[in-house]
Structure formats: C-alpha cells, structure tokens
Amino acid sequence: MGKATNIVVLTIGSLVFAYPFLWMIATSLRTRQGVASGGISLWPIQWQFNNYTSGLASFPFFTYLTNSLLTTLIPVVGSVLVSSLVGFGFARIPARGSGLLFGIVLATMLLPQEVTLVPQFILFRSLDMMDTLYPIILPFMFGMPFFIFLFRQFYMRLPASLTDAAVVDGAGWFRIWRSIYLPLSQPILVAAAVLQFMSSWNNFLTPTIFIQSDRWKTLPMALAGFTSVNRTDTSLLMATSIIVVLPCVLIFFLAQRHIIGGISFTGTK
Amino acid sequence: MNPITGGLEEVLRHLGLAPGLRPLGAFVLLSAVVAAAMFGVVSLAVRRRWMSRTTAAFWLFVSPWMFGFAVFTFGPMVYSLWLSFLNWDLVSPSRFAGLGNYQKAAADPLVRQAIKVTLVYAVVSVPLQTALSLGVALLMNTDIRGINVFRTVWYLPSLVTGVAQVTLFLWVFNPNYGLVNGMLHAVGVDGPAWFQDPSWALPAVIIMSLWTVGGNMVIYLAGLQDVPIELYEAASIDGAGPARRLWSITIPQVSPVIFFNVVTGLIAAMQIFTQAFVIKSAGGAPANSLLFFVYYLYQNAFQFFQMGYASALAWILLLMILALTLLVFRGSAFWVYYESANPKASRRRPRVR
C-alpha cells in the first residue's frame, strides 16, 4: 500500500471520528429550531451562544463543579504521592516477602471493583458517611495498584548508585524518596495524575450509589439527571456536555507530550 | 451508624468539630489507632533485633497500600463472600440462606439475559476495538507528515467518556434527527431506532465504544515504533512482501502489547455500567436489551436492597472475569511472542537515538 493511500484512508477516518465531536459543538450553538432543521450539517444556521449561559443557569452548576473538583483533585494528589512512596518501597528497599506482596498488588488490578461495592456501601454507612463526598475520595488516598506498578518500574530503571550514595551519606529512606526519587519521576507523576484526573472526573458509579442530595452531586451525575429530564433540549444538553468535557480536553492540550509518553509507557513496558 | 463511630463523633462534637467533618474525624482517629499499633510493633521488633532497620523501612513504606487494601478491598471481599450466603435488606435482621442466593441466580432468567448481553458486548467489542486501533496505528506508522494532527484527532474522542459520551450518542443515534440516521437517509436507507430498538441497542453501544479507541491506538503506535528496523530490512532482502512482513514481523513483535490491551479491555468491558444507566434513564434500551451484569447487580443492591443476592452476583461476576482472563492467558501461549522465549531472536542491537 502506498503512502498516498495511507493518507487518504487516514483522512477519511479522521473525518468520521471528528464528525460527532464537531457536530456536538455545532449543535451546542443552535437554537431549538436550528436543531430540528440543521440535521447533519456542521453549520449552526442561527448562532446562539447563550446556550452555554442558560445551560449553566438551569442547575446549580458551581455547587456541582466544586464537588467534582474536590472529588477529583484530592484523589489526584493523594493517589499519586502515596503510589510513588509505595512504589519506591517495592523498587528500592530490599526485604523478604517484597516480591510476593508486589504480586498481590498486581493481582488486585484484575479484581472488578464491583465485588467490593456492596460491602463498601455498608462500611461507609457504618462510618456515617452516606450522602457525603468521603466515600468517593477516601478509597483513593492509599495508593492505586496500577500507579504503584508504574512507579516501581520507573524507579527500578534508575541507577542503584543513586540510593547507595545517599545511604552512605546517612540519609533516611524517606528523605531519599522525597529529595531524589520523587523529583526524578516527573514523567510518571504527570501521567498518573492525568489518568487519575480523567477517571475521577468521569467517575459515575460510586457517586450514584453514595450521593442522593443535590448538595453533593458531581457534574457527571448532574449531566445524567439533565439527560433524562431535558431530553428534548438538545442544544442545552450539548452545551452542558462540552462544559463537562472541557477540563479533560484542556489538560490534554497542556500536557499532550506527557500523556502520549505516559500512555505509551503504561502499555508497552 | 455503628456505635463506635457514633461515640467518636460524640467526642468530636464536644471538641467543637464542624458536623460535616465529624465522620472524617472519626475515620482518621480509627486509622491513627491502627497506624500507631503497627508503628509500635515495628519499632519494638527493630529494638529487639527481630527485624533489620531496612526491613522495617520497607513495611512502613508499603503500609499505606496495605491499610487501604485491607479496609477497602480485602476486608470488603471477605465480607461480600459472607453476605452472599445471607438474605438481608439492610433493615430487618439478616437470615442465613446457605447457597440459596446462588441457586436463585442459576434459575433467574434475568441473570441469564445479563450474562448474555455482557458476554456478547465483551466478545464482540474488544476484538473490533483491537482491530480498529491496531489498523489505524499501522497506517500511522509510516513517516508521513502531519502524524501529530492525525494522532490528536483520533485521540480526542477518547476524552469524551462516561456520561458525556452517552449524552452525545443518544443524539447521534436519535431515530429522527440523529447524525447516523441522517447520513443513512442521505443515501436512501431508513435507519433503525438504535437505542429504542431491542435488537439494535447493543450494536449501537458497541459502535459507540469504537469511538474511544484513541488511547489504545497511541499504545499500539508506540509499540510499533519499538520494532527494530533491521528485522524489516533483513526480511526485505529475503524477498518478503508487505503482507508477509506484517504477518511475520509486525504482528509477533507487538503481540505482547495486543495481549495487554485485550486483557485490560475484556476486564473493562465486563464491568460496563454507565452506558446502560444513562440510556435507560433517558427512556431507551427496551426489553432488557442493555441489562449489563453490573447494571443488574446495581439494581439488586441499591434499588431492590437485596444485599445478599447482589453480593452473590458480584462473586459470579468475579469468577466470570477470572475465567475469561485465564482463558486469554492460556490461549496467549499460541500467539504472544516474547523475545526472551527465543534466544536467537533476542540479539537485538542497542538502538542509537
């Protein structure tokens, strides 16, 4: 197959892939009449930018945004830092049983989260944490198996002499981690933070189970509620979806290099 | 609420902690007790020379994960196994049911429907996703200009996941005004009602899942770029055509990456939930056509409050996922190629960058 054929196939494919995305943006800018008559075209016909403002005004957006940010940023910081610490322990501190324990860490990656759903519900109920944000935050504060794996692999590749010099120097393990290994693992820190951001920001199952009142609902929950109520007002729906997706897209463009590098590292190494 | 939690919160109330923070305070106090106990045991062991300082450091470093594992994974799993032998609605006292929940599941036609829908989704969508993302990655793995633009365009949709994606596709698959039926209408075909049609709802969800393969594609692209160029050169000299090079070099070389993606993809596909929830609440998916296993589990636990039955379903799901993973691992010996398995092939020259 020639290079030209490749480019033609890729271009057609890219158009097919980009079309729903562009159409979403076009629809979000239409009036109600425009949605019905616009059909599959990408041009809004009648421009209406205030779909965004009315989309935001139709529900307590800033409450939901605050909840989403809390349940995303705290797990991002917590899971990344703790995973780095644990990964360092597995990679650099020799101890008997370390390999076996790391095997358990890997095995938990295969476990479906749903097995713990009912008992976690009962656990958080007895901790008096129903209808709060705690059940969506706390489980992420003790390290994620996948990130522990990533950090361990990364630290194993760093030269062991880094640790030896510091040990001779009399530095404790914690200081070695904090002042040498943690700063060196910046690519994994960024990749893990982005992955955790995407998964927490879009998390839907756990908030649905633990949160009932509007006061603590997150943006995906709000959008899901919005979808079932405002089924007919498509332009408002699309505007709201775009607002929900926007942070992920922004982060992607800001950290594109790290994300692509991080994803490749996670999948191939 | 648990009496211990209640007592601790009472103490915190006297200390003047804000009501919203009291449950967290109680949790932190309980964890602090565990942490102090563990720290005490370890420092005693070090002082008595039962354990070297290095070993103690290791256990302290991994202790956050161990605590989280015990409280949020292992403990709940054991508890869930116990619950699966009970009948309990959270309100009245629980009754021991023996294997009753499992027998009920075996006879439940909805469980059969849920397994069917979930397995069909996993077994059809994962190979399609693999073929599509690998195919696109192969097309991109030629040094053409603008590769970054293509990569971005294909990756961007994978950022639109979860509820936002379903919201968009509810409209893309809208029977009257939607994008897909609009396109079909333009070429003179009357499209089906997709999410509203029991026999088209599942295919629609599978098509929807293909839109977010960008992440996998990026992984394949990286894998393809790691294939040593000498292998292709040697094969060309020996007279191998493009198809032969693809089949005998490229595919075996990236087979570990394919394997990784297939395993993680299958596990994720078996746990599909959000799609069913949102489509259902928007009035679609008639006749249990999207009764995914986790959705049925969710219904039993949090709508019908059958905690024992839901726990039994959770364990059935776990066993199904383990069986499927094991099957893929077993089968992998036939098609996954690891360099170390063949010492001759691993003589890879270090690459100069």
Give the CATH number for residue B282: 1.10.3720.10
B144 & B195 share domain: yes
Interface touch B76/A119, C-beta < 8 Å: yes
What is the structure's pLDDT at A110?
A: 81
User: What H or E segment, with its residue span, contains residue B96?
Assistant: strand B95-96
Residues 6+ apart with CB under 8 A from B19: B13
Nearest to A143 by CA among B81, B272, B70, B33: B70
Containing structural domain, residue A160: 58-218+247-268
Containing structural domain, residue B43: 3-83
B34 & B111 share domain: no
SS3 B338: coil
B123 & B68 share domain: no
| Total number of domains in chain B | 2
In a domain, A10, yes or no: no
In a domain, A169, yes or no: yes
B281 & B325 share domain: yes
User: Any CB–CB contact under 8 A between B205 and chain A?
Assistant: no
Nearest to B136 by CA among B252, B253, B242, B217: B217
Chain A closest-CA separation from residue B12 CA (Å):
14
- Picking from A10, A112, A228, the nearest residue to B267 by CB comes out as A112
Which range scores top for mean pLDDT: A229-243, B224-238, B303-317?
B303-317
| Total number of domains in chain A | 1
Rg for chain B (alpha carbons), in Å?
Answer: 27
What's the pLDDT tens digit per position in B38-93?
Answer: 889 888 888 888 888 888 889 999 999 999 999 999 999 999 999 999 999 888 88
Reply yes or no on whether the pLDDT at B343 is more than 50.
no
Reply yes or no on whether the pLDDT at B345 is more than 70.
no
Residues 6+ apart with CB under 8 A from B197: B286
* B chain contacts of residue A93, beta-carbon cutoff 8 Å: 54, 57-58, 61
In a domain, B138, yes or no: yes
B128 & B45 share domain: no
- Picking from A21, A40, A96, the nearest residue to B156 by CB comes out as A21
B221 & B165 share domain: yes
Q: Which residue has the higher pLDDT, A234 or B329?
A: B329
Reply yes or no on whether the pLDDT at A74 is more than 90.
yes
- Residues B292, B294, B296, B302, CA torsion sign: negative
In a domain, B321, yes or no: yes
In a domain, B98, yes or no: no
Q: What are phi and psi of B213, to 5 degrees?
A: -85, 0
Measure the N-to-C terminal CA separation of chain A; round to a whole number of Å.
30
Read off the pLDDT of each residue in A77-81 and give the average, rounded to a whole number: 96
**Distance between CA atoms of residues A39 and B180, nearest Å:** 10
**Distance between CA atoms of residues B313 and B84, nearest Å:** 8
A 27-46 residues with CB < 8 A to B? 27, 35-36, 39-40
B135 & B248 share domain: yes
CA A50 to chain centre: 29
B 94-133 residues with CB < 8 A to A? none
From B48, B83, B118, the end of a domain falls on B83
CA A175 to chain centre: 29
